[in-house]
Amino acid sequence: MIPCLLDDSAVLALGRGYPALSAFIDDATAGRAALAVPALCLCAAEAQRPGIAEHVAVLPVEIEPLDLSGTISTGRLIREGVDWRIAQAVADAAPSPLYPDGRIVLSVQPGRYQATAVRPVDPGALD
């Protein structure tokens, strides 16, 4: 199973029917992918498109909470200049006990990650 995070741009693209992201939803439904949206990314998407959070809630996608350790690491990234809309995705992509190899970030705006250690994947570029 491939663990992936959707950032705000991916959530918004999914809401517009982006075919490559729809394929990831199909993979999650079939058990081939584990999809999650960091809460802060979902907030950013909801701010741009009201109602998108409810759309995500009915999909096979987990909402990644922002707990204390996540808040500390995400806050540090924001303080260092990482865009708040992607900071939790950057923090959550790092290797952890649950995801020793880290998680893949899906983004249709991968250029926003240039100043980070994360190399996101644009699902449309995989076609």
Task: Residue 84: give its domain's CATH number.
Answer: 3.40.50.1010
User: 127 pLDDT exceeds 60?
Assistant: no
Higher pLDDT, 19 or 114: 114
Q: What pLDDT, on the 0 to 100 scale, is given for residue 4?
A: 94
Q: What pLDDT, on the 0 to 100 scale, is given for residue 73?
A: 95
What would the mean pLDDT of 20-40 be, rounded to a whole number? 90
Q: What pLDDT, on the 0 to 100 scale, is given for residue 126?
A: 61
* Count of domains forming the chain: 1
Q: pLDDT-derived band of residue 113, with 50, 70 and 90 as boundaries? A: very high
**SS3 letters for the chain?**
CEEEEECHHHHHHHHCCCHHHHHHHHHHHCCCEEEEEEHHHHHHHHHHCCCHHHHHHCCCEEEECCCHHHHHHHHHHHHCCCCHHHHHHHHHHCCCCCCCCCCEEECCCHHHHCCCCCCCECHHHHC
User: 6 pLDDT exceeds 80?
Assistant: yes
Q: What pLDDT, on the 0 to 100 scale, is given for residue 3?
A: 93
32-90 per-position pLDDT tens digit: 889 999 999 999 999 999 999 999 999 999 999 999 999 999 999 999 999 999 999 99
Global pTM reads 0.92
- Residue span of the structural domain in which 96 resides: 2-126
Average pLDDT, the chain: 93
